[in-house]
A and B are shown apart, each in its own frame.
Chain A
Amino acid sequence: MKIADLNLNLAPLPAPFPLVRGEVCASEWSAVALTIAENHGRLVTLWGSDDRHGEAGHFVVSAVYAVENGTLLWLDLPLPDQQLNYPDIAGIFPYASHMQRAVADLLGLVAEGASDTRPWLNHGAWPMDYFPLRREFTGTEVRDWPAVTDYPFVSVAGDGVHEIAVGPVHAGIIEPGHFRFAVVGEKTLRLEERLGYTHKGIDKRFEHLPASEGYRLAGRVSGDSTVAYAWAYCMALEAVWNWQVPARALWLRALMLERERVANHLGDLGALGNDAAFGFGLSQFMRLKEDWLRLNKTLFGHRFMMDRIVPGGVAFDPDTAACAKITAQCDAIEAEVRELHAIYDDHAGLQDRFLTTGRVTTELANQLGLTGLAARASGVPRDVRIDFPAPPYDELAVNIACRNSGDVAARVAVRFDELLESLQLLRQIVRRLPDGAVIAAPDNGMPEGRGAGWVEGWRGGIFVALTVEKENRIRRCHCHDPSWQNWPVLEYAAIGNIVPDFPLINKSFNLSYSGHDR
């Protein structure tokens, strides 16, 4: 499909990848969605904003689609006459449902015709008529507010069917969320998730920060993806301010992004071993991860590299000795990972738990918009580094890691492949690192405007849509985590599996709660 065929009035937006924006009316909103779906495009994210200025202006619902070869389409639907509803698109893209429910909670804008209109982020702990993203609220008002309320889960009835409720406080050291299993014996018939427990009002909080400082908050949307978020945020801001980032800084950002990927894959590979009762795997991989984080601390001054990507560049500059350390560590880790890979592959008990568990077929993955690492394990070869390459990825040939079986084994295999690929990329980055400054001063003032960032985090694509006002103010910042797409797929992956395999399936996706709840 050509975007031109949509007959929309589109204008390019600043971003280091092809991005166009246009406005549509309510009838076009769902028609365009349908055309995009029919042509194998997909919804990247959906959010709402309050663009009322006194009596003027509108509420706006926005969606970003990935269409055609590497173009993103940003559509705004301004709602005229203080209207509070817009057409549902969850009938076309099922994974829009949670996003639409979040828009309803935060802005009071309702997707008309949607089959599920239960609150999603608002658990009843603030009034149902309080919409934090509306202009009239500061986000900090607190009255005598209610406590959380019950949630109407969908119940499954039948002979021998019973429910298991898990969370929000889980058994281990993990983020909070609630799972409701309907089971027969040990077999899962249905799983329903309830998220939103870690909702901390990040979207509203952005409005209280100078745009030049927002990267710190963006870097804390999901702690395990701090590099990817901070980069996506800075990418958006730099696009708006037409800020030219030095080449060396861009390469160093990629260096950190790959290091973040490696750290998380090391952790997950250990945890996946552990969830299959193979404690050896956990202790070995956690040791490697600790070595990795310690070198981060030495080189970047922070174990997770928080606040090291800053608007205009990066906040450190490695010397030759530091580069040599990175290469040496890549070599050492590669040797160890290869050895552990062979052990995982040989281990009958482990493979028995991994193979065919938590399957997501390619067809289902496409239907449900699965994205990132999990999608690649289900035969959907998508990777922002390849499909929407912003510098330096336009110069780095990334080999995509893909599997077709869509089970836990496939997600483990993809992690191994990506880990090794990242080590290869890291060595390449260090070798080809351009000379020069690592940060540029802004020389174009701080104009208003909108821009976007799009980065392949270790979990999947992280998208940031940013609208900046004059005087360094954030009008709206929307951060999208790939978990929005992937959490609903987990509900399907669990079906037909035994409950004791759920931790393993869950871990193989390792989705973000905080990134989703925001």
Chain B
Amino acid sequence: MWKILKRIAKTGIATETPPDLQKVGAGETAATQRIHDEILQILGRALTIREVDAGSCNGCELELNALNNVYYNLEGLGIKFVASPRHADLLLVTGPVSRNMALALQRTYDAIPEPKLVVAVGDCAINGGIFGESYATLGGVAKMLPVDHVIPGCPPEPIAILQGILTAVRYRLGTRAAADSAGHA
């Protein structure tokens, strides 16, 4: 136990300021707070994500996993990967959608309650990437599901994924604000 505590003390806090707010320069707490507030405003709670690997080479998964490390500290921003699609607000999909995974992907999507967002992560999820379209793959996620936002890269780096997730959420905020003002008019 002593060694563990020593190690923890020595490591300290390694979390970095989230990406697109670094330029704000208002310091980490303020930035984190702002992301939190935005997510709360849009969803009324923390942002929960269900990830589906629909045929990826696993490169994209490595970077999604990296988002949970202490540097990016995704959970600290109120963003959480969840096991059940029924608990999710957002579906993150990687890989060219393989025909063998199409049904499982569709069922996962269907199980997510409305309103839901779909984000395609990586070149493969955007258009099939290097694997293209074939007897085995459908190509991009948009071939099957309404995609709200795409994050290019092979694989996209964690920072780019984080930025993409935040952009998707903001986009939803934008459309809701637009819908609200339309309602007022």
Interface, chain A (partner B; CB < 8 A): 121, 123, 125-126, 130, 132, 137, 139-142, 145, 147-148, 168-169, 171-176, 196-202, 204-205, 208, 216-217, 220-224, 226, 267, 280, 283-284, 286-287, 289-290, 293, 297, 303-304, 306, 339-340, 342-343, 346-347, 512-514, 517
Q: Are B58 and A175 in contact (CB under 8 A)?
A: yes
> Which B residues lie at the A interface, using CB under 8 A?
3-4, 7-8, 11, 14, 51-66, 68-71, 81, 83, 95-96, 98-104, 108, 130-137, 154-155, 157
Q: Which residue of the partner chain, among B7, B56, B63, B136, contacts A175 with CB atoms under 8 Å?
A: B56
B104, A200: Cβ atoms under 8 Å? Answer: no
- Secondary structure of the A contact surface, majority rule: loop
Contacting pair B71 A125 (CB below 8 A): no
> Cβ of A196: which chain B residues have Cβ within 8 Å of it?
100
Picked from A126, A137, A512, the residue with its CB within 8 Å of the CB of B99 is A126
Instruction: Kindly identify which residue among A205, A223, A517 contacts B60, using a CB–CB cutoff of 8 Å.
Output: A223
Q: Can you list 26 A-B contacts with CB-CB less than 8 angstroms, sorted by A residue number? A: A123-B100, A125-B99, A125-B100, A130-B135, A132-B134, A140-B132, A140-B133, A140-B134, A145-B99, A148-B100, A173-B53, A176-B104, A197-B104, A198-B53, A200-B95, A216-B130, A217-B131, A220-B130, A224-B58, A280-B7, A286-B66, A289-B66, A290-B71, A304-B62, A517-B98, A517-B100
Could you say which of B62, B101, B104, B137 contacts A223, with CB atoms under 8 Å apart? B62
Would you call B134 and A340 a contact (CB within 8 A)?
no
Minimum CB distance partner of B58 in chain A: A223
Chain B residues with Cβ under 8 A from A222's Cβ? 57-58
- Chain B residues with CB below 8 A from A221, complex form: 57
Q: How far is the CA of A286 from the CA of B69 in the complex (A)?
A: 6
Beyond A125-B99, A223-B59, is A172–B104 a contact (Cβ under 8 Å)? Answer: no
B81-A172 in contact (CB<8A):
yes
Q: A126-B135, A175-B56 are in contact. Are A343 and B4 (CB under 8 A)?
A: yes
A222 to B133 Cα, complex, angstroms: 19
User: How many angstroms from the CA of A171 to the CA of B130 in the assembled complex?
Assistant: 27
The interface residues of chain B lying within 8 Å CB-to-CB of A200 are: 55, 95-96, 98, 131, 134, 136-137
Specify which chain A residues have a CB less than 8 angstroms from the CB of B57 in the assembled complex.
220-223, 514
- Please state if A205 and B131 are interface contacts (CB–CB under 8 Å): yes
In angstroms, Cα B99 to Cα A142, docked, is 11
